[in-house]
């Protein structure tokens, strides 16, 4: 073979090799793109929870603080807001809104929340990251882009009720509390009442516990004078002791 033929053969081999590399690179880009689309961010975290008939709600005013709480239970609304049925994943989210109508800051660092159903079953508090983990586990999402999961965890963290800084005079603070359904409770059973207890507000009486009875709108009046989860004026005037004699150490939810 003369030099000219040899040069043509080498040139042809180079073109074939370059074309093969281009095809391989294009295929890899396509696979990465399809993976990112198919395993993208499957869930989302809404900015707030609307007050709907299917949700449980309550509010009360104690001294200069107004506290509101809403637990979202409507499954269709859960799918719309979170792109997931949290109840199937044994998750329950309570949105808490605290307003300081006084003239001084309120220390929230010692505040503790506990949640029980009407039968006394205690819901376990979860950190935002654990809540996201339960979502991924229930929906059996094993192949995903790490970035999207980290982004969802960051969103759940941002939506969490912040207790690490004092509540300034006139300030309104809103955020989520994440809970896990007790093992004894079927998460799809109808829930008509939840008790959210708050302890540790600075300046309150020793051992005082503030209770919010979360109920459906229009629920019948209970013996404690709470109508539909909204305490009467007499119930708002002071903190009352826990309704149960049982004493347990609630898990502290702090920033």
In a domain, 247, yes or no: no
Q: Are 29 and 147 in a shared domain?
A: no
252 belongs to a structural domain: no
133 in the same domain as 26: no
| 88 and 32 share one domain | no
Nearest to 210, CA basis, from 76, 108, 61, 104: 61
Query: Buried b vs exposed e over 175-204: b needs ≥16 C-beta within 10 Å?
Result: bbbbbbbbeebebeeebebbbbbbbbbeeb
Which pLDDT score, from 0 to 100, does residue 41 have? 67
Residue 96, beta-bridge partner list: 69, 175
Same domain, 31 and 145: no
If asked whether residues 116 and 2 sit together in one domain, one would say no
Distance of alpha carbon 7 from alpha carbon 5, whole angstroms:
5
Report d(CA 205, CA 40) in Å as an integer.
50
Are the C-beta atoms of 199 and 51 separated by less than 8 Å? Answer: no
Q: Is residue 126 domain-shared with residue 194, that is, in the same domain?
A: yes
User: What is the spatial distance between Cα 65 and Cα 68, in angstroms, rounded to a whole number?
Assistant: 10
List the chain pLDDT tens, one digit each, 255 residues: 566 666 566 666 666 666 665 554 445 544 444 444 445 568 877 776 666 666 899 998 888 889 999 998 988 888 888 989 999 999 999 999 999 999 999 888 889 999 999 999 999 999 999 999 999 999 988 877 888 889 999 999 999 999 999 999 999 999 999 999 999 999 999 999 999 999 887 655 545 578 899 998 755 433 333 333 333 333 333 333 334 333 333 333 333
> What's the number of CA atoms in the CB half-sphere (13 Å) around residue 180?
17
Spatial CB neighbours of 140, under 8 Å, sequence gap ≥ 6: none
Containing domain of residue 200, as a range? 56-236
pLDDT at 55: 84
Query: Within a domain: residue 242?
Result: no
CA dihedral 18, 24, 25, 28 (to 10 degrees): 180
* Residue in 159, 163, 165, 121 with CA at minimum distance from that of residue 253: 163
| pLDDT for res 254 | 35
Statement to judge: residues 91 and 12 lie in one domain? no
Q: How far is CA 85 from the centre of its chain?
A: 12
**Does residue 104 sit within a domain?**
yes
Euclidean distance between the first and the last CA atom of the chain, given in angstroms as a whole number = 79
- Shared-domain flag, residues 114 and 183: yes
3-state secondary structure (DSSP) of residue 128: helix
The answer for residues whose C-beta is within 8 angstroms of residue 55's C-beta and 6 or more apart is 49, 70, 71, 72, 73, 74, 77, 216
Domain CATH code at residue 138:
2.60.40.1150
Same domain, 2 and 66: no
In a domain, 50, yes or no: no
The answer to whether 75 and 92 have CB atoms below 8 angstroms apart is: no
Pairing mode, if any, of strands 210-215 and 112-117?
unpaired
In a domain, 244, yes or no: no
- Output the six-digit token pair for 111: 């505040």
Query: Do 31 and 61 have their domain in common?
Result: no
User: How many structural domains comprise the chain?
Assistant: 2
Same-domain pairing of 167 and 127: yes
Kindly state whether residue 241 falls inside one of the protein's structural domains.
no
Integer Cα distance of 128 and 111 in angstroms: 18
Report pLDDT for 255: 34
The pTM assigned to this predicted structure is: 0.69
Q: Does residue 154 share a domain with residue 89?
A: yes
CA distance 248 to 255: 22
């Amino acid at each position: 073979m003369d030099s000219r033929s040899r040069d043509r053969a080498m040139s042809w081999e180079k073109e074939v090799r370059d074309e093969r590399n281009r095809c391989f690179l294009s295929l890899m880009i396509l696979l990465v793109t399809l993976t990112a689309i198919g395993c993208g961010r499957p869930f989302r975290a809404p900015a707030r929870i609307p007050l709907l008939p299917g949700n449980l709600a309550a509010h009360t005013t104690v001294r200069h603080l107004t506290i509101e709480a809403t637990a979202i239970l409507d499954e269709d609304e859960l799918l719309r807001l979170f792109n997931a049925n949290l109840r199937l994943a044994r998750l329950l989210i309570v949105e808490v809104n605290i307003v300081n109508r006084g003239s001084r800051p309120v220390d929230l660092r010692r505040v503790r929340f506990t949640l029980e159903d009407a039968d006394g079953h205690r819901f376990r508090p979860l950190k935002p990251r654990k809540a996201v983990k339960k979502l991924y586990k229930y929906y059996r999402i094993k192949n995903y882009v790490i970035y999207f999961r980290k982004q969802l965890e960051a969103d759940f963290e941002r939506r969490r009720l912040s207790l690490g800084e004092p509540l300034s005079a006139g300030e309104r603070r809103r955020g989520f509390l994440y809970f896990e359904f007790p093992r004894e409770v079927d998460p799809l059973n109808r829930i008509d009442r939840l008790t959210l207890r708050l302890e540790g507000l600075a300046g309150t009486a020793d051992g005082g516990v503030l209770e919010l009875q979360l109920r459906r709108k229009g629920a019948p009046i209970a013996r404690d004078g709470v109508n539909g989860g909204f305490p009467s004026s007499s119930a708002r005037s002071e903190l009352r002791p826990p309704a149960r004699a049982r004493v347990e150490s609630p898990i502290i939810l702090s920033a």
